[in-house]
Structure 1
Amino acid sequence: MTDALLWLSFGGPEGPDEVRPFLENVTRGRGVPPERLDEVAEHYHHFGGVSPINRLNREAIDAVRAELAAAGIDLPVYFGNRNWHPMVEDTVAEMARDGVRTALVFPTSAYGGYSACRQYDEDIERARAAVGADAPDLVKIRHFFDHPLFITAFADAVREAAKDLPADHRLVFTAHSVPVSADKAAGPPEEGGHRYSRQIAEAARLVAAEVGAPEHDVVWQSRSGPPQIPWLAPDIVDHVEALHADGVTAVLVCPIGFVSDHLEVVWDLDNEAKEKAEELGMAFARATTPNGDPRFAQLVVELVREQLEGVPPRKLSTFAVGGCTRNGAPCAVGCCEPVRRPART
């Protein structure tokens, strides 16, 4: 018996006074210098100190509630975040007070890896520990980077963005960069394992094939670590410069690593990458993310039905199905381990 669905996301500030506390939550325990937090805070203050992520999540939750009702599934949907209100600990406590004993968890990331997957397991484990013996049993839903609805939503967004560009544009996929060491710690290599970069590359390949792109690139954005630690590269802005040097005159960017147009997408792509392209005289367009696409709510409900009704998983890759966990336990021993950071001296 499943009593509810928990929508678990990253969180974001909804006012100027919340920006710095939010960033301190995001970077807790990582030794990020204050000046770096000040720099990132300016990105948020550029948009009035408000991240769109909570609004986008609430809109998506409303769409999922409607889709669940249309499917005849009576399942209340709760909303909790890792880094800002509503905090997942508070939400799980609310669920316990409401009598929820077992719930499915939908994390707003399609991929494996530590930050995209394992950290959500840790969120679940932390929230259940905070609530104690009355905490509900929480079952996290699987990765969905290769689900047909996810791929076709992105493919249609790419086609729409391409209308504003010449036919010979270059298709470039982006995702949030992570430390190379974290990507390598992503579990067993068979059938792709849960390695974030391989799943990103596969999703990009599937979308490119769907739109008939003759070639495409996979690059990264939003790096935040110290320069001495290798992260996945190249960065999107550097890549735009490299494409220009190679004679490319138009670029279409698809943020394949994200499910919504939250602040990192808007800042890194609609501001920094677009401004670089304009500076170089290149035509630029960005595909939207699937959060507002009706197929995204349909995808979530289909993942729910896999758990409730045993509906066979639909997927377009040969990669192993991963990411399903119960009560924060990792889906494989040693999978997506956090990076061991050297002690500060």
Structure 2
Amino acid sequence: MAYDAVVLVSFGGPERPEDVMPFLQNVTRGRGVPPERLAEVAEHYQHFGGVSPINQQSRDLLAAIRADFAAHGLDLPVYWGNRNWHPMLADTVTQMRDDGVTRALAFVTSAFGGYSSCRQYQDDIAAARAAVGPDAPLIDKLRQFWDHPGFVEPHADAVRSALAQLAPATRAGTRLVFTAHSVPTSMAANAGPHGGRYEAQLHEVARLVHAAAAPDLPWDLVWQSRSGPPQVPWLEPDVNDHLAALAAAGDTTAVVVSPIGFVSDHLEVVWDLDTEARQTAKQHGLDFVRAGTPGIDPRFVAMVRELVLERIEPDGITRRRRLGELPMWDTCPTVCCVPTRRPS
């Protein structure tokens, strides 16, 4: 199948203080998030001057992908559009149409399955195309990449680097704590042929990173960044509760926290982990080091090219690189990962 462009699709984030609340309203529209929770999250952004790191990280990734494509003779233009803030995806699709693009591949900065990490991006792509009209380019999402070496290996190296920051004498009391964004339990149990994969995929990535980086250490998968109303069950335990429990148990003296659910150090990493979780660890007497994310690691950037080649070369799928053992698929049906009820 012929493609004539690639579009990087990201979450988006505010880049000045006055953008923060409109951005958060875009993110949470229709989800019933209490106003006081929005105000609380808005305050997190203000600690960083009202600027989220994610848009600059997307610009850096965009530049790295373009350079990698050029270096390897992949002659496809690469665009960038966001779900929740400028450049908005519909505006990008308009530009693609005006540039004569007819069919594109979308690389989404979320590695996993599930509603918010996959299906919602596909819905947003469809909405952007609908907003542009019948002459909008067709856009096919690239496959999930949670167990691709270009994603797993940078996370494993980051864990090794984080462990090297701890005194060797502390290793016997060190534990790896892998984190990902929590979601409502109803969303984690999505319906459809590929539903319910979010937790399983994250457990698989945690297993792979642990085996590559520190197989002698104990590890846990926990959750962060909950944003919904308190009466709605979300995946638990929260990272802060977990750190407190580890300290209370008495056999852990240091933690390396690895945000395997994320591709870059955006606000939910630098606030929820570097600020809140670090403070929790300090309060409970735990040494704390946070491992990095792939960002623009050359292996991660090369992975994007590999995913594109899987789809455009006749034998691409036979050269697919994977480390995990769970099922994988190239495309998702429209009934996949639709929540049993709308997320709250």
The answer to whether TM tops 0.5 is: yes
Please report how far the alpha carbon of residue 30 of structure 1 lies from its aligned counterpart in structure 2 after TM superposition: 1.4
Distance 1:293 1:79, change over 3 A: same
Cα 1:80–1:71 shift into 2, 3 Å = same
Amino acid at match of 2:324: S
The question of whether the paired residues in 2 share the 8 Å contact of 1:154 and 1:290 is answered with: yes
In the alignment, residue 203 of structure 2 is paired with which amino acid? Answer: A
Unaligned runs of 5+ in 1: 326-330
Q: Distance in 2 between matches of 1:184 and 1:87?
A: 29
Give the conservation status (yes or no) of the 8 Å contact 2:187–2:343. Answer: no
CA contact (8 A) 1:171 1:216 kept: yes
State the match for 2:182 in structure 1: 177
**What amino acid maps onto 1:321 in structure 2?**
M
Give aligned-pair identity as a percent. Answer: 60
Q: What does 1:1-345 correspond to in 2, within 5 Å?
A: 1-165=2-166, 166-168=170-172, 169-188=174-193, 195-214=197-216, 215-247=218-250, 248-309=252-313, 310-311=315-316, 312-322=319-329, 324-325=330-331, 331-332=332-333, 334-341=335-342
Check the 8 A contact 1:2/1:103 in 2, yes or no. yes
Name segments (4+ residues, structure 1) moved above 6 Å.
none
**Distance in 2 between residues matched to 1:34 and 1:252, nearest whole Å:** 33
**Aligned residues of 2:160 and 2:214 also touching (Cα < 8 A):** no
Aligned equivalents of 2:239 and 2:253: distance in 1? 15
Q: Is the 8 A contact 2:278 2:288 kept in 1?
A: yes
1:96 maps to a residue whose letter is: R
* Aligned equivalents of 1:286, 1:174: Cα separation in 2: 11
Whether contact under 8 Å (1:101, 1:135) holds in the other structure is yes
| Contact 1:171/1:213 (8 A) holds in 2 | no
* TM-score (normalizing by structure 2): 0.94
Any conservation in 1 of the 2:257–2:289 contact (CA below 8 Å)? yes
Which deviations, in whole Å up to 9, do the C-alpha atoms of 1:91-119 show, x marking residues without a partner?
A: 00100000000111000000000000000
Letter of the 1:163 counterpart: A
Task: Provide the rounded CA distance (Å) in 2 between the counterparts of 1:300 and 1:282.
Answer: 37
Query: Is residue 173–residue 217 contact of structure 1 (8 Å, CA) maintained in 2?
Result: yes
Q: How far apart, CA to CA, are the structure 2 residues paired with 1:86 and 1:249?
A: 44
What is the CA–CA distance in structure 1 between the aligned matches of 2:337 and 2:232, rounded to whole Å? 18
* Contact preservation (8 Å) 2:106, 2:142: yes
Tell me the SS of whatever aligns to 1:292.
coil
What is the SS of the residue equivalent to 2:257? Answer: strand
Q: CA 1:336/1:315 → structure 2, altered by over 3 Å: closer, same or farther?
A: same
Instruction: List per-residue Cα deviations over 1:58-108 (Å, max 9, x = no partner).
Output: 101111111101110111110000000000000001000000001110000
Q: Structure 2 unaligned segments of length 5 or more: list them.
A: none
CA shift in 2, pair 1:87/1:176, >3 Å: same
Q: Residue by residue, what CA displacement relative to the aligned partner does 1:137-190 show, whole Å, maximum 9, x if unpaired?
A: 11100000011121111100000000112322100100000000101115337x
Distance 1:238 1:25 in 2: 29
Matched residue count: 334
User: Residues 182 and 235 of structure 2 are in contact (CA less than 8 Å); yes or no, is this contact kept in structure 1?
Assistant: yes
Q: 1:186 to 1:110 in 2, by over 3 A?
A: farther
Instruction: Tell me the TM-score normalised to structure 1 length.
Output: 0.94
Residue 339 of structure 1: CA displacement? 4.8
Question: In structure 1, what is the Cα distance between the partners aligned to 2:126 and 2:136?
Answer: 10
Contact 1:12/1:53 (<8 A) preserved:
yes
Matches of 1:5 and 1:66, distance apart in 2: 14
**Cα RMSD, aligned residues only:** 1.5
